[in-house]
Copies of this chain bind each other. A is one copy, B any other.
Amino acid sequence: MAIQQFSRSLPMMLYRTLDAVMPRFRKIFNDFGLTEQQGRVLRVLWERDQIALGELARLTLIPTPSLVGIVDRLSSMELVARQRSDRDRRVVHVLATDKGLALEPEIMPRVAAAYANLKQSIDAESWDLALQGLQKISALGEAAKRND
């Protein structure tokens, strides 16, 4: 009974849901020699010309120390580049190279299709209510962050 509760707790349900949905997306990126996190970084850079490493961390939800290594590896694959800011020399901007940009039309259609297929396998109301609930719960964390 107690274990049943643990198994149905919010954290475990979140982990279980990720285990259920992520393999299909990971597989797409893996087909291009990329990890899930490397793919997240590219997805953001496909939409933004350049972006400070710190903001890239916030948008991808990748912790900054991890992101340093991820950008290192993407950089050695020549998919992204670093550029130190002139305004504030502490800041490093990250941007996609031409080679990195060229991947978007290869990858995104498959991602979009997988996402549509996933969404379609759940009734629309459950889907929306789940996302709305997550929105409310995650807002707690954002508020907490602003207060420390």
Contacts and interface: CB of A to CB of B under 8 A. Distances in A.
Interface of A: 2-3, 6-23, 25, 43-44, 46-48, 59, 61, 115, 118-119, 121-123, 126-127, 129-142, 144
A13 B44 contact: no
Given A15-B18, A20-B137, A127-B137, 12 more contacts: A6-B47, A7-B59, A8-B131, A13-B138, A16-B61, A16-B134, A17-B134, A17-B137, A17-B138, A19-B61, A21-B137, A21-B140
Given A13-B131, A129-B129, A144-B20, A137 B122 contact: yes
Given A59-B3, A61-B12, A126 B136 contact: yes
A118 to B, nearest CB: 7
Given A20-B144, A115-B9, A141-B21, A48 B134 contact: no
Contacts of A135: 13
B140 A20 contact: yes
B10 A118 contact: yes
Contacts of A3: 44, 47-48, 59
Nearest to A129: B129
A21 B11 contact: yes
